Structures are given as structure tokens and as C-alpha cells.
């Protein structure tokens, strides 16, 4: 029976697309660029590609910031100041606490059932702490909030999850469950660490097999058999 639930944040509980669109729109306006739907989508795709390269160890976190701004500037034929752009974007993003509709309900139900929960994210330290505070979800993570930049390991490295389990005193991996939306980050990391996992909202590639698959957040409890453990 599971006792410890390790939740990814972005695109699992937090609506990153909404947060990103709001923040980047204001940044672009400040730089004199009209934030059309196409430009916002362009930035989103560039940003995602940079984070995927970071997951694979191909670039550093600082290179994410530099590359995404320069790549966007090249596509728009605009010269952005990387430091100013990044500072403004991170500040605005840290103020965004948009969650998916069922996030609060699910965490409230799981807390009432007796589960201990932690947040486990690859996001930037200052940005993620701000967004968690703005979201109102912090109260549910009694095991803590674990951010890769702060703990020194990133998903999908198994050490990321090993560190969390050791810190919270979970000696039996069979009592832990990782819940997230990314096959390449959350699920691959959990599998590598020998921890059960639940993939939310996406079909899993053949090479990555989650223990469970939940089409929606609403399905997590039933799919994973998360009953009352008090």
C-alpha cells in the first residue's frame, strides 16, 4: 500500500501553458512585440525543446535561458537583451499560480485519506516557489517541495527521487508513488529509481512503462487504488 505520493507540478497540477502564455505576453509587450497566438506558441515550443535538452544533460540551466531568448529573437528578427528578458520573464512567471480544475480537490481528498505528499519539480527555484505559493497548493505538501535547482539532482536522474525518499524517511520504495505527466522525466526517472508511477494525461511511449495510466487528474485515485489509509 502506498503512503508517500510524489507529485510533479507543471502540466500535472499547475497549468503551465496558461502561466507561460500570461508571462511571455507581458514580456513581449514590454519589448515592443505584439504577443500573437502564433508567437506565444513559437516561444512555448522553443522553451520546451530547451528543457528537453536539459533533461538529457545536453545543456545547462543557464543555457536554457540564453538559448530560448536568442532562438526566439532569431525567428522574430528582433534583438532581445537576454538578461533583461530572462529576469522579467522569471519574475512574471513566478507570480502565476494557475492550476488545473481538479488539482485542489484531488490533493484535499488524498490528504483526508492519510497520504503524505511531496512536490517534485525540475523548475527554477525562485519561480517554482512563487508559483506554488500563488497556487495555494503548498499546504498539501507536508513532505516538502523538492526543486532540482535546490537539491542538486534533476529528473529523470534516479538520484532525484532517491534523494526525496531518503529525506522524508521512506525506507520502502514500494510505499511510494510518482505522479506526473512526462514520460521522459517523471516516469523514466521513477522507473530508473525502482518506484511505481502514474502517467497523467498522455499516452506512454513503448520504451517507458508507467505502473498506471490516468487519463485525467480525476482518475488518479481510482486508477492507482488510493483508498483511505488512516
Q: Which residues are catalytic?
A: 8, 10
Backbone angles phi, psi at 201, to 5 degrees: 80, 0
Q: Alpha carbon 213 to chain centroid distance? A: 17
Give the burial string for 64-84 (b: 16+ CB within 10 Å, else e): bbbbbbebbbeeeeeebeeee
> What gap in Å lies between CA 91 and CA 110, rounded to an integer?
31
Backbone angles phi, psi at 51, to 5 degrees: -70, -35
* Nearest alpha carbon to residue 12 among 221, 222, 214: 214
Amino acid at each position: 500500500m502506498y503512503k508517500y505520493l510524489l507529485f510533479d507540478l507543471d502540466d500535472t497540477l499547475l497549468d503551465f501553458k496558461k502561466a507561460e502564455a500570461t508571462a511571455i505576453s507581458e514580456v513581449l509587450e514590454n519589448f515592443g512585440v505584439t504577443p500573437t497566438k502564433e508567437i506565444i506558441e513559437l516561444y512555448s515550443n522553443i522553451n520546451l525543446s530547451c528543457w528537453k535538452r536539459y533533461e538529457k544533460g545536453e545543456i545547462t540551466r543557464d543555457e536554457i535561458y540564453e538559448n530560448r531568448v536568442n532562438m526566439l529573437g532569431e525567428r522574430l528578427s528582433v534583438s532581445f537583451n537576454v538578461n533583461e528578458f530572462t529576469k522579467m520573464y522569471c519574475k512574471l512567471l513566478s507570480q502565476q499560480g494557475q492550476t488545473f480544475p481538479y488539482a485542489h480537490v484531488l490533493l484535499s481528498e488524498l490528504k483526508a485519506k492519510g497520504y503524505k505528499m511531496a512536490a517534485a519539480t525540475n523548475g527554477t527555484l525562485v519561480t517554482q516557489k512563487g508559483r506554488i505559493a500563488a497556487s495555494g497548493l503548498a499546504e498539501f505538501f507536508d513532505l516538502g517541495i523538492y526543486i532540482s535547482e535546490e537539491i542538486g539532482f534533476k529528473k529523470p536522474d534516479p538520484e532525484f527521487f532517491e534523494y526525496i525518499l531518503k529525506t522524508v524517511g521512506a525506507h520502502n520504495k514500494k510505499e511510494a508513488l510518482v505522479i506526473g505527466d512526462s514520460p521522459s522525466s517523471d516516469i523514466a526517472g521513477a522507473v530508473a529509481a525502482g518506484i511505481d508511477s502514474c502517467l497523467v494525461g498522455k499516452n506512454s511511449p513503448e520504451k517507458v512503462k508507467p505502473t498506471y495510466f490516468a487519463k485525467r487528474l480525476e482518475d488518479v485515485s481510482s486508477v492507482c487504488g488510493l483508498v483511505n489509509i488512516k
